[in-house]
Amino acid sequence: MLLLLVGCHEEVEQHAQMNLALCLPANEMSFQLRSPRRVMGDPGTSEMFAFPKYAYIFVMKKGDGDTWSVWKREERVLDSNKWEMTHYSGPLETNMDSVFRYTDDLAFQLKNEGPVGHVYAICSYRKLTFNTAFASVSSMSDLMDWKFNTDSIQQDLANIYSTPYNYEYNGEYYCSFDCSHRNTFTVDLLMYHVAAKVDIKWNVVDSVRINNTDPSEAVRLTYMEARNLYNGYAYCFKPMENSVSGAPLATGYTIANIVRSDDEGLWWEGRKYFYTIPYTVDGGGYYPLQLKMQTNDASGEGYRPTIFMSIDKTSPFVPWLRADFKLSKPLENKTETKIVER
């Protein structure tokens, strides 16, 4: 009698290890200063920023059709001493550009049953709070609607970075991967600022900054503040798609004392910048920045011009918004102010 021994064969699952490297834009000047700086695609120059301390990462897996679900997630506290200057080695046009790379890679074990995925991340110097709990985000729509609260971190908006969802390379989201037939691979996750730089430049024209007949009437800018800035919850991965309905944010955040009466060096000309979440009204194409200005220590409401700055929503990167203006008369009821957006 022939005895046949038949064993059950269990299919061995295929796995791949993805090593995720967090990267921030930099330039060569950053090497000595050890601070991320704005570069091409991330507007602004010669500015120092704080390294992020908190990272929130999602690895999304493509399912049937165009469905996506959370594959892996990681919330990580970062060590500010573990960023080093190197070169970006991913597929983007910025290949070999300088970046700051976090030296502790994050390892994700991925099953190969659905190998196509996306990686999204947002990181910040301050701990963030969100409209939806980190652990509750499960689908792509959840992720695209994910927002962080700006109310208590207005002064740190320049130190928040994320992966813009509409940044593409060869028609694909730039942080896409396919782990088929690869045991181990690395994704350099390059993140960009979510806050736009607003750059204001002013000048009091020579003809009115001096008044020999009555020196007290010589025009000087003694107060300026930026009003109706974005506050509340802002998109994590759609930095160019924040919008409000009906009117600019009259109750939005205000940066006061851009110029003060004791800033004698700024009475006649100067330049200041700050960072804010760009937004449009009713989905339009302009960001409505409002300024409040007073001259010659005047009190009251002063002059409140609104500067409508163009917003290109097709760009994945937040803009550098610049405005120049000239003061030609005291800012009472007889103002002739030329404002030039550029």
- The CA-atom distances, in angstroms, between 21 and each of 83, 85, 89, 118, 317 are 11, 13, 11, 14, 21
Most confident of 147-156, 256-265, 266-275: 147-156
Can you tell me the mean pLDDT for 299-307?
Answer: 81
Residue 132 CB contacts under 8 Å (≥ 6 apart), including other chains: 142, 145, 146, 147
Which of 294, 255, 253, 295 lies closest to 272, judged by CA?
Answer: 255
Can you tell me the mean pLDDT for 291-302?
Answer: 82
Residue 10: predicted pLDDT: 42
SS3 259: strand
Determine contact, residues 280/305, Cβ cutoff 8 Å: no
Residue 335: which pLDDT band, with cuts at 50, 70 and 90? very low
Pairing of strands 15-25, 184-190: parallel
**Spatial separation of the C-alpha atoms in residues 212 and 202, rounded to whole Å:** 23
Q: What is the pLDDT of residues 173-183, one digit of tens each?
A: 999 998 887 78
Q: What is the pLDDT of residues 87-120, one digit of tens each?
A: 887 777 776 778 899 999 899 988 766 788 999 9
Structural fold of domain 15-193 = Immunoglobulin-like (2.60.40)
Report the percent of the chain where pLDDT is more than 70.
84
Q: What CATH number has the domain spanning 197-341?
A: 2.60.40
Which of 83, 73, 78 lies closest to 118, judged by CA?
Answer: 73
Q: What is the pLDDT of residues 56-70, one digit of tens each?
A: 999 999 888 888 999
| pLDDT of 299 over the 80 cut | no
Determine contact, residues 14/110, Cβ cutoff 8 Å: no
**Spatial separation of the C-alpha atoms in residues 17 and 12, rounded to whole Å:** 16
Q: What's the DSSP call for residue 31?
A: H
SS3 212: coil
- Residues forming a β-bridge with 66: none
**Spatial separation of the C-alpha atoms in residues 202 and 330, rounded to whole Å:** 14
- Residues forming a β-bridge with 184: 17
- The tokens describing 2, both together, are 């022939």
Residue 3: predicted pLDDT: 35
Determine contact, residues 154/234, Cβ cutoff 8 Å: no
pTM: 0.86
Can you tell me the mean pLDDT for 220-232?
Answer: 91
The whole-angstrom distance between residue 309's C-alpha and the CA centroid of its chain comes to: 17
Residue 58 is inside which H or E element, if any? Answer: strand 54-62
Q: Which of the pair, 201 or 250, is modelled with greater confidence? A: 201
Q: What is the pLDDT of residues 29-54, one digit of tens each?
A: 444 444 544 444 554 445 778 899 99
Q: What is the pLDDT of residues 120-174, one digit of tens each?
A: 999 999 999 999 999 999 999 999 999 999 999 999 999 999 999 999 998 999 9
Determine contact, residues 185/176, Cβ cutoff 8 Å: no
Q: What is the pLDDT of residues 13-30, one digit of tens each?
A: 577 899 999 999 886 544
Q: Which residue ranges does the chain devote to CATH 2.60.40?
A: 15-193, 197-341
Average pLDDT, the chain: 83
